[in-house]
A = this chain, B = another copy of it.
């Protein structure tokens, strides 16, 4: 397969992984199968639609009906193969991490192919990667994983998008390089989850001494 075909495969895989995460959240929230398909579609296709609107092109998800297959497949897989509900959260986060790893690559590559400068392309790739999950969590009314302090979410996506944007102008980007970056991003994200890597809170803690505790949700 040539680079273009591989890129489509990665993109469809990313859509599928994110769609599964949306369908799993639908299970947790007790939605029906249609709500599952809707939330899966929004999660899988949302980031790419934002990317394409910013690039000023007719979104892939609407232009090519093949993009509808992964969400349908995801809703069916979750319906028939859903493991016990107790494990849904961990499974959801794993699929979400896989989608994140692929979309930060394909989003950045798409932007670079459109002649966007590397800094903006990395930014747009990051937005593509985190956009679908942010919409998933917002419409389903749960605290977005992006803001959850028990793990790193945006940083792995930034690293992956930045790596692609750095390799591309040097002529070093290839499908193989993309796979390596995706694996690194996925591993980074999963390790951050398992080992509970953290970054500091939004305000330096010394300012809080004597103040009231910040409100928990």
Residues of A in contact with B (beta carbons under 8 Å apart): 23, 26-39, 49, 53-59, 62-63, 65, 68, 75, 78-80, 82-86, 116-117, 119-120, 123-124, 130, 134, 138-141, 143-144, 146-149, 152-155, 198-204, 207-208, 210-212, 214-217
Contacts and interface: CB of A to CB of B under 8 A. Distances in A.
B203 A79 contact: yes
Contacts of A54: 49, 53, 58-59, 62
Contacts of A123: 62, 65, 68
B214 A27 contact: yes
A95 to B, nearest CB: 15
A199 B124 CA distance: 38
A142 to B, nearest CB: 8
Contacts of A58: 54-56
9 contacts: A29-B217, A30-B215, A32-B198, A33-B199, A54-B62, A62-B124, A65-B117, A80-B204, A85-B214
| Copies of the chain in the assembly | 3
B80 A36 contact: no
A213 B156 CA distance: 34
A200 B33 contact: yes
B138 A139 contact: yes
Given A30-B201, A78-B203, A212 B85 contact: yes
Contacts of A143: 141
A83 B62 CA distance: 41
A201 B88 CA distance: 15
Given A49-B54, A141-B217, A199 B84 contact: no
Nearest to A82: B203
Given A34-B154, A80-B204, A116 B27 contact: no
Given A53-B54, A54-B62, A31 B204 contact: no
